[in-house]
Structure formats: C-alpha cells, structure tokens
Amino acid sequence: MFARVLRSVLCICALGTIFSVPPVFAESYKICVPHKLQKVCEDLMRSKPSDQATIECIPGRDRMECLDIVNKRKADFMAVDPEDMYVAYKMNNQDFAVFSEIRTLEEPQAEFRYEGIILVHKNSPINSLADLQGKKSCHTGYGRTVGYKVPITKLRKHGIFKLDNDPTIPAVEKELRGLSNLFTQSCIVGKYSPDDEINRALKKKYANLCALCENPAQCDYPDKYSGYDGAIRCLVENGGDVAFTKVIFVNKYFGLPVGNNPAAPATGTANANDYEYLCEDGSRRPVTGRACTWAQRPWQGYMANGDLRSRYAKLQEQLKLMYEEGKNYSDKELAKKMLINEKNLVVTKDSPVLPGEHLTRAQYKDVIERLGPYDHTIRFCVSDTIALQKCETMQKAAFSRYIRPQFKCLLKTVEECSSAVQNDEADVVVLKSDEYAIARKHNLVSVLHESLADNDVFVAVVDKDVKTDLLKKATLNFNREDSRALNAALLFNEKKGQPSCPLDAVSTENGIVKIVNARDLKDNDDQELVCQDFSRKSLQEFSNCNFEATLPTAVFVRSGVSSNILDGIIHSLTAAATQFGKNAQNEDVFEMFGEFEPGFKNVIFSDNAVKLITSSNFIPTFDEAHYNKLRCNN
C-alpha cells in the first residue's frame, strides 16, 4: 500500500516537473555614463522595468574614462559618438564592438548618418575632381563636416586642394587661401576667427569665399545660401557650379523619397533631372538614383567590450524600450546628453562591428585624422604622472574632435619643463601662481589665462554689529589648506597693517572675520562684506568688494616663439577649452576642468576654471609683484 502511494506521489511530481514553466532569469548589464549623468541614467533605466534585462549605471569622470572602464570590464557598454569609436579603435580596436545605433525616424534603414556628396549641374563640364579648379563652390559653412572638413580632406588627398608653404602665413589662413585659390567664388559663411577683428580682415582678404552668399559683406549665419539646403540653393539659384552637402537634403529639395517615406513636395523649385552627383572617380549619377558618396559619418550608438558578444540580444531590446521611454523624461537637456532625441530611435545592428572597421567603411577615419593646416605638434610638458595621464587623455579627446595642432605629452619636473620650453625642447607648460617665478627665471611669457566664474572670488564676511575699529584687530577664520583662502587672509592682514607670511598666518575657529568663497555665501541679513578699504557692502556686491589675491593659472611659452607656433598653441588650447570646458558642448566627453582622479585636485588646470582667455583679453585683478610680497617671496 505504501509503495503504491509513493509511486503515485512520484508520478505527480514528475508530471509537475514536465509541465511547469522554468523561471525566466533577467540578464544583468552595466552601462558607464559620465558622473554628471548618473541620476538621469538611473531614472531612465528604472523607467521601463523588464524581466528580461536590468541595466546598472556605473559613473565615470567622462566618456574618455568610460572607455577605460568598459575596456577593463568594470562596465559592459556605453553610448558613443563616432569620435568616441575612433578613440576606442586607437585603444584596443579588437575588444570593442558597436552593437546598436541611434538613427533618425526619417532614415531608420540608412547605413550612415551623413552621406557627403558633390552636386553639379547635369550640363556641367565638370567630369573629374581636377575640373573643380576655377569653379564656383557652395558650402554648408566654415569648419562644418560635410561642407568643409570632408571636401578639404578628400580634395587634399587627391592633390586638388593645396596648402600654401609660405611660413609667414598664419596656419588657419592657409586653408582659406587654398580654397580661395581653388575656387573663383564661393559661399562659406561662419567665424573665420574667434577674434572679431581678424575675422573681418580674413573675409576682406578672401572676399571671393563670400561672393556667392546672400550677404557677402556679413558672410555669416543666418544666410539663405548656407547650411545643407542653402548650399543646394546656392547651386540652383545663385550661380554655383558645385555644392557640397548631404543626400537627405538633396532628396528633400527635389521632392524625392527619404528613407521609408515616399516622395514629398519639393522644398526647391528646380527639376531633379537637371542635376547629378559627381563621384570621386569623375563619373556622374542622377540624383533620382543611388548617390555616390565620398565620405559618411556613422550614427551615434552603443558600444560594448568583447565579453558581451554572446549576450547582446536582451540588452538590445531593453535599450529600445528605455530609449522610447526616455523621450518623455522631464529634463530634455539631460536626456539629450544621454543621446536621447525625440526624432531618433534605437536600431539593432544585425552584426556588431569593430569601431575601426566601421569608421574605415564610412571613410570617416580619414576625416578625423585630417591634419589641418598645421604642420607641427604642440609639445605639452607636465610635472607628474597624474598630469601626464590627463594630458594624454586630453590629446586623445582633442584629436578625435578635430582639434589641431595635436598635443604630444612630456613628463619632467616643473623646473625642467620650464627649461625645456625655454630651450625649444617643449612648447607649453601650465604654471600656477606660486610657479610664476620659475617662468620668469626662464624668460617665459604667458599667452593664456584661466577664467573663473564671476562669483568665484574670496571675500571677508563679518556680522553687521562688528565695529569698524575692531576689524583692525580682528581674528580670522579661514581654511589654511586652500591656498586661495590663505592668500586672501594674507591680503586682509596686510590691509589692517599686520602683514604676515604664509606660515605665520593664523586661523581661529571662532574668528570674527570669515574668509570664504563668494560661491558659498548664503543670504543672511545679519552679515555683510568687508572691502579692502574696510568699508562695508552687501553680500551680493562681491565683484568689487573682495580679497581675491591669487594669480590665475596660466599657459606659458618661450619668449620669441614663432607666430605660427604661437597661433597653433592658442588655437588648440582655446578650442579644447571651448569644447571641453565648464558647461561646454563636449564636457561629458572630457572634463578639462574638474577633478581628474579622486583625491588629486587641480591637475594641470584648476578644477573650478571655466575657460581659457588670451593674454590680450586678460584683465589682471592682482599684481604679480604684490603677490610675491604677500607670499614673502622677495
């Protein structure tokens, strides 16, 4: 009897095992994001929970560090631009793969984002790239990818575009002269130089480059004949012989199908049958057919390390869901930094591709590697291994973003760096205020200075009921570990007639006068600022009532450096600060100003710097001789 019952139980259990549904185990993944995007990442990854996949957000300093984090298996993947793919290709190409792309809703099946083309009149005598000599050209704008960088890269490769060898010509001007010599008239709008006076002078000197624009005298945005569609209008309406633009705007202009969308009303008035694509080999193709492109820009996308190769599937589907949900995120700007755009969607790649192969197929690697008009490298000297790491990271980020001349990083002591710059063994050294004396010793000159936020100054704060005569004897409360706070305290002591050297300056916990950064001030009706003449002002008037007494960190070069080398130094470093500075477009790619490694402050540049400004635009707020006196350096 017991045996029969046992057999029945075993049968029931066996049947239960046969017919039960096995549990579904969610795959776990880790995405690396710049630390400033940690919260938005966590919000987005929680927005569409799934039993198929979970995604954990791992913070990195910026995308450059995320590449290392993914490569070292501390995270599995990250969101990337094509330029980040290039850095990965140079790091460890075989161990990265692009597995999903972020494409537009208009062209979800297009292999590449930008397809750069040359558009000509059907009856044009242009039958080779060499025939472009002496013609009239239409461009999207100065410095832009499809209308400027790609044509110069490709035409230079074919020997059609040439840079002038005259060493007296500034490097930036060489490209403009090359274009001016190649084309009789053009429309290339934009800022030829960040300096307004130089910008006007260059446009006057190379007036033919603006001759086809709607407003040749201004030659800047907005202009009817600029941009992707404007370049086509310039060809059709304003006498151009050739236009450099991209395929999607040709299709829109002539009312041709775009991606999966059927033909729509044309944005232009010309007949598509009157225009053709000029191919790199000199052949022609009708615009109504498949274009011959001579360079493409890959889509943004998601890139993983090699360990993810066997388990992309669930992640790819989860990313699609997350991306669509992310379009509803409350902070659109933060979502944008996560590469989320309402006009885009995530498309799974059928076969993940190595970044180097991807860029080569797009002919975009050549565009990134374009040398530009500079024929030299900036030898950047730093004084410790952490600074060397940051310099090399900056070099990678800057090169991938077309900043030229490129940097080469050297490691020496501060004294050796200054000597190397003096002896033309290096080009640049960045020195802080207490290192200016070394620069003077080696006859170096500053060409760029850090700029801080308007409220980033040290002030003296007291309670309103403190009498003025007491201030002359007042004790101070400041952070001795902060050199700027110490310098402000030294200045306060000097102003009250009790000068002290750095080692002698005393901070008292209950000091009557508090030396603090104006950034840290909070509204307090019972407090006010003490000015250098011991008058009082409200807490909001820190700009002209402070004790800031620190010289800015500055970029130094050797005295008498050639104008072209100097131009390259200023151009590259200001371009880097413009792209990677505080709140800049690509700060998430590389934080030029900010803590580079935990525990290491002010590596090369100050953590709280905002941008770099030229010495000609720099207005000193504190005298170097006075600084040395305060620091007892005399």
pLDDT digit string, tens, across residues 506-556 = 999 999 999 999 999 999 999 999 999 999 999 999 999 999 999 999 999
Which residue, 109, 113, 101, 112, is CA-closest to 316?
Answer: 101
Do 403 and 576 touch, CB atoms closer than 8 A? Answer: yes
Summarised one tens digit per residue, pLDDT across range 215-260 is 999 999 999 999 999 999 999 999 999 999 999 999 999 999 887 7
- Rounded Cα–Cα distance for residues 199 and 191 (Å): 6
**pLDDT score for 502:** 95
Spell out, as residue ranges, where the chain has pLDDT lower than 50: 1-23
How many CA atoms does the CB half-sphere of 30 hold within 13 Å?
16
**pLDDT score for 263:** 72
CA distances in angstroms from 384 to 381, 397, 593, listed in the order given: 10, 20, 17
- Give the global pTM: 0.88
Do 345 and 108 touch, CB atoms closer than 8 A? Answer: yes
- Rounded Cα–Cα distance for residues 228 and 244 (Å): 8
**pLDDT score for 11:** 42
**pLDDT score for 24:** 52
First to last CA, the chain: 108
- Pairing outcome for strands 554-558 and 428-431: antiparallel
Q: At what angle do helices 227-237 and 247-254 cross, to 10 degrees?
A: 60
